[in-house]
Structure 1
Amino acid sequence: MKSRKSRFRTFSGSLDRFYFFLIGMVLTILSLCFQNLYADSITERFTPPMGFQRINFPNYSFATYLKNFPLKPEGSSVSLYDGKIKTNQVHAAVLDFPLLKEDLIQCADAVMKLRAEYYYSRKQYDNIHFKISNGMEVAFSRFAKGERVQVNGNKSQWKKGKFKQGTGRNVFEEYLRFIYSYAGTISLKSELKKKSIQNLTPGDVWIEAGSPGHVVLVVDQVTGKGGQTLFLLAQSYMPSQEMHILKSKSQYSPWFEVPENQTFPTPEWEFPTKEFYGFVK
């Protein structure tokens, strides 16, 4: 039988552990509160330049999804997939855009991920589909039914088996990983439609297909009284790196002005101005 002193020590030790647990919980909650305090979105971080106002789009549009995308705290560096800091820091902000620990999510993959995440957040699973490099269209809905794509060289086909089913995050991430592995700027461009720059909206891209190629995404837009349009661009790049808002050489930086020349220079790639595209839907 334990003595009263022994029982007291046991009770006291339990009480100490409880206090440490309680303090840990309080510190965790405070940490999250401070993180949220400094977390903001593209719209909140970047106010329109003087004389301009932001263009409003339907609440559930891809344009609105992009404008409200969360950013990492101000002053954050762009990190690579392996945790190293990108050498060429050409950004004004970093999207809160988690990477895989593999060199998979590059420029086109990042654009496709944002497009897929938008539809996934809306539970519009049938709208999540992309072409891979051989032209085959791969729909998330078929992954959700338990099908997968078997790739052999340049040939691919659907196959059935005991694969995970459903629209859960694990199946969605498996689908995205497949897209990252077998799609790129060439396949992405093949499913976009050519657009006039005068009809620019968030969600449109400048894209140059190739190996390597590159793509940058319009993520926000403002307009002036005289009809002048400014916009923000985001990119990922090679090697796989966090998506980030680019700086411009415009007087309105990081806002870009609509290019008037035949070429459109961005910090790490110069595009033919005419290579401007949008998603079909």
Structure 2
Amino acid sequence: MSYAPATSPLLLPLPDTLTPPLNHYPWLPAGRYRSGQTLAARFPVPAGYQRVAVAPGSFGAWLREVPLLPTGTAVHLHNSKLKDRQDVHAAVLDLDVGTRDLQQCADAVIRLRAEYQFSQNPDQVHFHLTSGHDIRFQDWYQGRGFRVVGNDVVPTPKSVEKPDHATFRRYLDQIFTYAGTLSLSKELRPMPLAQVQPGDVLIRGGSPGHAVLVLDVATQPATGRRLVLLAQSYMPAQQVHVLKAGPQPKAGAWFNLEADKQHVYTPEWTFSRHELGRFE
């Protein structure tokens, strides 16, 4: 992967909306969503490129309109301290990180995938723990919890709760505690770089491991070249941020994804070309 040159395309004013479409971003307080503060609005494609088509209602379509914090926002850790490196991000997602050191790299991917699923149908949300156990949100809120005993996961009764977003966040904190890059990598189907789509994940499972989410993809029709927008959290847990495509102050955020190269370089991790996966 190399860095796409920064561009300064003409930006047309975008109307603001007061509520997200169909409540697709339910963690936001009422009235906070603004269509002019989304990924698509902030990062137009460079000249000669166009965004790839995504199906309405798909994970890729949802990511394309994900809300961002204002331009210039710094990345903070879960304890409100600043991330040491403030030179690797182009934007910060308008998404809470929590107060515990949980929402790290794989957890951020899980969080966004789960939030999308929750916005569509909460009962479809489920993730595997590192142990391999499949933990469904529906079981969780209906009173079927779990506890970890050594290397085993034991079904444990818990209180029945409403399937609202607060309950969902408590469920996710449990997933974050016992899942990671290894378990997440097993939920993904390997994909070639040349077929990258919004919602795919660059991931190395293990310890250490890392995961970066592909937020959006643009293509150059004349050549087939693809650019991608990437997002990550890291250690310690920190706000999810759109990665900056290079060390230059005006590098922009679009990465040039070169499918014939052996490695994919991101500011804080280098992936193999074989480490791209897609949710089933």
TM-score (structure 1 length as normaliser): 0.83
Preserved CA contact (<8 Å) 1:164 1:171: no
Counterpart of 2:54? 57
More helix by share: 1
Residue of structure 2 in register with 1:29 after alignment: none
Tell me which residue corresponds to 1:134: 131
One-letter amino acid of the structure 2 residue matched with residue 172 of structure 1: F
Question: Looking at both structures, which has the greater relative contact order when contacts are Cα pairs under 8 Å and sequence separation is at least 6?
Answer: 2
Indicate yes or no: 2:263 matched with 1:263. yes
Deviation at 1:36, TM superposition (A): 6.5
Name which of 160, 168, 171 aligns with 2:167: 171
User: Quick check: 144-153 or 37-46, which moved more?
Assistant: 37-46
CA–CA separation in structure 2 for the residues paired with 1:105 and 1:39: 27
8 A contact 2:35–2:41 mirrored in 1: no
Give 1:41-52 correspondences, 5 Å limit. 41-52=38-49
What SS is found at the alignment partner of 2:103?
coil
CA distance in 1: counterparts of 2:39 and 2:212, whole angstroms: 16
Distance 1:53 1:38, change over 3 A: closer
Deviation at 1:224, TM superposition (A): 1.1
Identify the residue that residue 121 of structure 1 maps to in structure 2. 119
The CA deviation string for residues 56-114 of structure 1, in whole angstroms up to 9 with x for no partner, is: 31220000111100000000011111111111120000001101111110000010011
Q: How does 1:18-167 map to 2 (within 5 A)?
A: 40-89=37-86, 90-122=88-120, 124-161=121-158, 163-167=159-163
Give the Cα–Cα distance (whole angstroms) in 1 for the partners of residues 160 and 33 of structure 2: 34
AA aligned opposite 1:206:
L
Aligned residue for 1:21? none
For 1:115, give the aligned amino acid.
R
Higher radius of gyration, 1 or 2: 1
Unaligned residue ranges in structure 1 (runs of 5+): 1-31
Letter of the 1:254 partner, please give it: A
Write the deviation string for residues 165-205 of structure 1: whole angstroms up to 9, x where unpaired: 23122321121010010000011011111111121111101
Are residues 1:218 and 2:214 paired? Answer: yes
Q: Is the Cα contact below 8 Å between 1:193 and 1:278 reproduced in 2?
A: yes
Which residue identity lines up with residue 181 of structure 2 in the other structure?
Answer: T
The equivalent residue for 1:7 is: none
1:230 positional shift: 0.8
SS at 2:231 equivalent: strand
What is the deviation of 1:160?
Answer: 2.2
Is this contact kept in 2: 1:149–1:158, CA < 8 A? yes
Secondary structure of the structure 1 residue equivalent to 2:107: helix
- 4+ residue runs of structure 1 moved beyond 6 angstroms? 34-38
Shift of 1:134: 0.7
* Distance in 2 of aligned mates of 1:36 and 1:269: 31
* 2:204 equivalent to 1:208: yes
**What is the total number of aligned residue pairs between the two structures?**
246
TM-score for both structures, normalised by structure 2: 0.83
Deviations 1:112-169 (A, max 9, x none): 01111001111x12321111011111111101211101210110122224x1323122
- Mapped to 2, the partners of 1:235 and 1:37 lie a distance apart of 22
**What amino acid is the match of 2:94?**
D
Partner SS state of residue 47, structure 2: coil
**Percent of aligned positions with the same letter in both sequences?**
40
> Would the aligned equivalents of 1:49 and 1:252 in 2 still touch at CA under 8 Å?
no
Task: Label 1:171 to 1:62 Cα distance change in 2 as closer, same or farther (>3 A).
Answer: same
* Conserved 8 A contact 1:202-1:219: yes
Alignment RMSD (CA, Å): 2.0
Judge conservation of contact 2:59–2:198 (CA < 8 Å) in 1: yes
Q: Return the alpha-carbon distance in structure 2 between the equivalents of residues 164 and 36 of structure 1.
A: 31
Deviation at 1:217, TM superposition (A): 0.5
SS in 1 for 2:227: strand
Cα deviation, residue 212, structure 1 = 2.0
